[in-house]
Amino acid sequence: MKRLLTLLFLVTFQLHAQTQKPNIVFILADDLGIGDLGSYDQQKISTPNLDKLAASGMRFTQFYAGTSVCAPSRSSLLTGQHTGHTHIRGNKEIDPEGQEPLADSIRTFAMILQEQGYTTGAFGKWGLGMVGTSGDPNRKGFDEFFGYNCQRQSHRYYPTHLWHNNQRVDLKGNDLSTKAVYAPALIQEQTLAFIDHNKERPFFLFVPTVLPHAELAGPEDEFYKKYEDAFEEKAHQGNDYGPKATVAGYASVEKPRATFAAMVSRMDHYVGEIIDRLEQQGLLENTIIIFSSDNGAHREGGADPDFFNSTAGFRGYKRDLYEGGIRTPLLVSWKGRVPAGTTSSHVAAFWDIFPTIQELTNHSETERTDGISMLPTWLNQGKQEKHQQLYWEFHEDGGRQAVRYKNYKLIRFKVKDPTNSYYELYDLEKDPQEKRQLQKPKLAQKILKLMEEQHTASEIFPLLPKNTQL
């Protein structure tokens, strides 16, 4: 009888685990290059927790960000639309604090999850609408937000304040002259507390960490000391804390390479803490963990992506539409569901996350997205639909557009000045570093036509002069 009761308990427990909604944890690094992780062949920086995460699940080699800068890339992720359609297409600053907000009509996949009974929280950097606006994170699907609402404020790791929902949290001792509170550490505390407080219900935890975005800064603790004397260094002169400090400046740094490496290792440690907390609370087996970065490697504040091979050999950096600016890591782990230790070359992008989560949670309503669910690839089940093309826009430096069509990639430059615009065409299969331009006029015209079809004009973020023909 005792054995029978034990067996019934185990069967009931397993059935409950299979039918229970999975928790979802999405960790989004800031300006992390695809080559900055050990699982993507980083040689100089230690990332043991993320390497372990990669080994426990699936690593993607052809995954793309929404675009090559922060706000529009994040808009693409949350709305499931590429930058020819998504509401936020550039970094448009609002005074005194915040960025252009997502409109009232815009739905995010966090809102879908709320409707599906998930408790939702975001901890880190927002940049899609100030508190009280239509883009306030509490109005875009998050029950709780803690961190930097304004991405301009996030240039400083010792900011004057953060936000907890609609409450400003002043950081005692931080006044842009003195430094007392390291914001990422405080945000991490709130992140772990969210897991503790919601362990009894399904949750979506979004962690758009500010690490390792410039400025290059952090405590001189064990992470820094690990690299303090590891590299040859050249000090970087910046906008220091003091009477002349500006919110959006980057401080000077004596050892920029050591500091950057320490920031990546610190981020990796924070990821390890999140995984450990999930395990301590008995949640790990029913939690999907996703890790990516919002765009390619940056060069601000003294960062040296060439030294670290942060782009994994791809051409370009943040703000470029070359592969180094938009190809980003993607790790997906779900114990017992996503095959461990696997690598996928499936071509996908930020706007695929929305429909993937829709399918994952059996959300039946049709939402307008540009994405295709990746769940067949994640679970290694069923037929995976593929994109005909991927599309990107970048609104600075005269404007750029790019389309990946099959293995071909066309980038159009100076699109805001049609008389001087030009394009470059590459074969990513034969030339992933985009070094050799192709001379295929018919193919180029076909891709330019796709480019024209993918762009919908925006009054807030105009890109092409009216009546422009590509």
Which residues, other chains included, contact 54 with Cβ-Cβ below 8 Å and sequence gap of 6+?
A: 37, 39, 331
- Interval 187-241: pLDDT, tens: 999 999 999 999 999 999 999 999 999 999 999 999 999 999 999 999 999 999 9
Pair of tokens at residue 116: 């599906």
- What backbone torsions phi and psi does residue 53 show, to the nearest 5 degrees? -60, -45
- Interval 303-317: pLDDT, tens: 999 999 999 999 999
Question: Average pLDDT in the 64-92 region?
Answer: 98
Count of CB atoms situated within 10 Å of the CB of 403: 25
pLDDT value at residue 467:
67
Query: What is the DSSP code (8-state) at residue 93?
Result: B
pLDDT exceeding 90 applies to what percent of the chain? Answer: 93
Decide if pLDDT at 18 tops 60. no
pLDDT-wise least confident of 102-106, 279-283, 346-350, 357-361? 357-361
Question: Average pLDDT in the 141-158 region?
Answer: 98
H/E segment holding residue 330: strand 330-333
pLDDT value at residue 12:
40
**Sequence-separated contacts (24+) of 419-428 with Cβ below 8 Å:** 423/448, 428/323, 428/404
pLDDT value at residue 11:
39
Q: Which residue has the tokens 């100030």?
A: 130
pLDDT value at residue 273:
98
Determine contact, residues 329/291, Cβ cutoff 8 Å: yes
pLDDT value at residue 20:
84
Decide if pLDDT at 255 tops 70. yes
Determine contact, residues 89/72, Cβ cutoff 8 Å: yes
Burial 78-100 (b: 16+ CB within 10 A, else e): bbbbbbbbbbbbbbebeeebbbb
Task: Give the pLDDT band (50/70/90) at residue 465.
Answer: confident
H/E segment holding residue 275: helix 256-280
- Interval 305-355: pLDDT, tens: 999 999 999 999 999 999 999 999 999 999 999 999 999 999 999 999 999
pLDDT value at residue 4:
47
Decide if pLDDT at 6 tops 60. no
Give Cα 22 to chain centroid, integer Å.
Answer: 21
Distance CA 331, CA 346 (A): 13
The pairing of strands 203-207 and 287-293 is unpaired
Question: Average pLDDT in the 253-281 region?
Answer: 98
- Interval 119-143: pLDDT, tens: 999 999 999 999 999 999 999 999 9
DSSP 137-172: GGGTT-SEEEEESSTTGGG-SS-SEEEETTEEEE-T
Decide if pLDDT at 462 tops 70. yes
pLDDT value at residue 160:
98
Domains of the chain, first to last: 22-387 (3.40.720.10), 397-454 (no CATH)
Q: Which residue has the tokens 């030009």?
A: 422
Task: Give the pLDDT band (50/70/90) at residue 13.
Answer: very low
Which residues, other chains included, contact 327 with Cβ-Cβ below 8 Å and sequence gap of 6+?
A: 34, 62, 63, 64, 65, 296, 314
Q: What does pLDDT average to over the chain?
A: 95
Question: Average pLDDT in the 407-423 region?
Answer: 97
pLDDT value at residue 470:
57
Task: Give the pLDDT band (50/70/90) at residue 19.
Answer: low
pLDDT value at residue 362:
85
3-state secondary structure of 348: strand
Decide if pLDDT at 448 tops 90. yes
Distance CA 324, CA 2 (A): 61
- Interval 192-201: pLDDT, tens: 999 999 999 9
Determine contact, residues 38/50, Cβ cutoff 8 Å: yes
pLDDT value at residue 433:
98
Distance CA 40, CA 44 (A): 12
Question: Average pLDDT in the 172-185 region?
Answer: 97
CA distances from 327 to 63, 372, 390, 392 (A): 6, 18, 12, 12
Decide if pLDDT at 468 tops 70. no
Task: Give the pLDDT band (50/70/90) at residue 367.
Answer: confident
pLDDT value at residue 8:
44
pLDDT value at residue 3:
52
Determine contact, residues 418/113, Cβ cutoff 8 Å: no
